[in-house]
Amino acid sequence: MQRRVFLTTSALLGASLLGGCKREEKKSFYINRGRKIEIKLATSWPANFPIMGEGVEEFAKRVAQASNNEVIIKVFGKNLLVPALGVFDACSAGQIQAFHSGPYYWKGKNAAFSLFGGFPFGFTSNEMNAWMMYGGGLELWRELYGKYNLYPLLGGNTDVQMGGWFRKEIKSLQDLQGLKMRIPGLGGEVMAKLGINPVLLPAGEIYTALDRGTIDATEWVGPALDIKMGFYKVAKYYYSGFHEPGSVLELTFNKRFWDTLPQEIQTLITSLANEMNAKMVYNFQDKNAKALQQLKKFGVKLKEWPDEIVKAAKEALFKVIEEQSSKSEDFKKLWQQIEPYWMQNRAWTKLGLKNYLKMRDG
């Protein structure tokens, strides 16, 4: 009987979550069984970081609300509990129960992890979510993370990112030669093939490095977050991007801890993680559109990559894929699964969305 009651009430809860009905947000259909579950969650972002940090904070509040405070998630910004890029190891070891970050940060542990975060000229956010949820991506991700005692959930998506801020205009491939640029993941490897020297810097050091000329360029995310970093003050050339068209953020749990959670708690957390994943894309769309108008007022020069660079970057991508596949069986296996799904979705996106945008904006 109790099981039937829970299934009925959880179905109602799910409907209220997906519907976003504010009237229902004040109520909870969840039956509190008197358990108290506390989860320490560390992020790779500063406390109260816009969109990404705010998103995970809202997620924690939603979990508490939906569980009648049976599940309390304590969110710790970067370096408050563990270093920003130490969250993977800390969660794997059980020092924390969960973290919020990006999969491509861990490519040094397994090259295949970078593909879960996205790749140059790859999936849009819609395509990435489709692959993850219906194309087998989540299952493969959990299989590989399981080797590290981790269990990942979708934790957001930045949508298409900008290509970066440059101190000088880029007119040809020659202009890229020897430039030092902050850029991670497979995007960094592709840019290295074009003559860039990729540098990985934490968020707090990027502006100073760009201002002092320690680096010549940087990518970050998009107008909403970039404007808060102040890059427009020291680099006026802002390029459209191809390196991260739909970058995944992760909400990852220690697997042994996850397996101890009651099934109804796992379902509740997964549902609210999916809610966060969707809302973050919408939030980026809203905030980027508004921030772009501000950047234009600051005299930022909006640029597109020359055709020569785009062509060279596409060729470089497949060289990187080939190299990584020869070094890592996991990478090779994952790419063999991704490529046909990528091509299939490209055909539909081109016919549908691309042609619509041409008609709308042409």
pLDDT, averaged across the chain: 92
Region 116-120: what's the mean pLDDT? 95
Token look-up 């050339």 returns 237
Region 313-333: what's the mean pLDDT? 97
Nearest-5° Cα angle at 303, 350 to 352:
10
* pLDDT score of 254: 98
* pLDDT score of 238: 98
User: Residues 326-356: pLDDT tens digits?
Assistant: 999 999 999 999 999 999 999 999 999 999 9
* pLDDT score of 27: 54
User: Residues 251-276: pLDDT tens digits?
Assistant: 999 999 999 999 999 999 999 999 99
Q: Band of the pLDDT at 31, cuts 50, 70, 90?
A: low
Give every CB contact of residue 332 below 8 A, 6+ residues apart in sequence. Answer: 324, 325, 326
User: Residues 198-253: pLDDT tens digits?
Assistant: 998 877 789 999 999 999 999 999 999 999 999 999 999 999 999 999 999 999 99
Containing 272, the helix (H) or strand (E) segment is helix 263-297
The percentage of the chain sitting over the pLDDT mark of 70, rounded to a whole number, equals 91
Question: How many other C-beta atoms can be found within 10 angstroms of the C-beta atom of residue 356?
Answer: 10
User: Residues 33-55: pLDDT tens digits?
Assistant: 778 999 999 999 988 899 999 99
Q: Which domains can be identified in the chain, with CATH numbers? A: 2-157+246-286 (3.40.190.170)
Rounded CA separation 315/288 (Å) = 30
Question: How many other C-beta atoms can be found within 10 angstroms of the C-beta atom of residue 99?
Answer: 29
DSSP 8-state secondary structure symbol assigned to residue 95: S
Cα torsion 336, 340, 345, 346: sign: positive
* pLDDT score of 202: 75
Region 292-313: what's the mean pLDDT? 97
* pLDDT score of 5: 38
* pLDDT score of 12: 40
Nearest-5° Cα angle at 130, 128 to 135:
105
Rounded CA separation 345/343 (Å) = 5
Residue 7 has pLDDT above 60, yes or no: no
Give the distance from CA 339 to its chain's centroid.
20
Concatenated DSSP letters of 166-213? ESS---SGGGGTT-EEE--HHHHHHHHHTT-EEE---HHHHHHHHHHT
Residue 18 has pLDDT above 90, yes or no: no
Rg for the chain (alpha carbons), in Å?
21
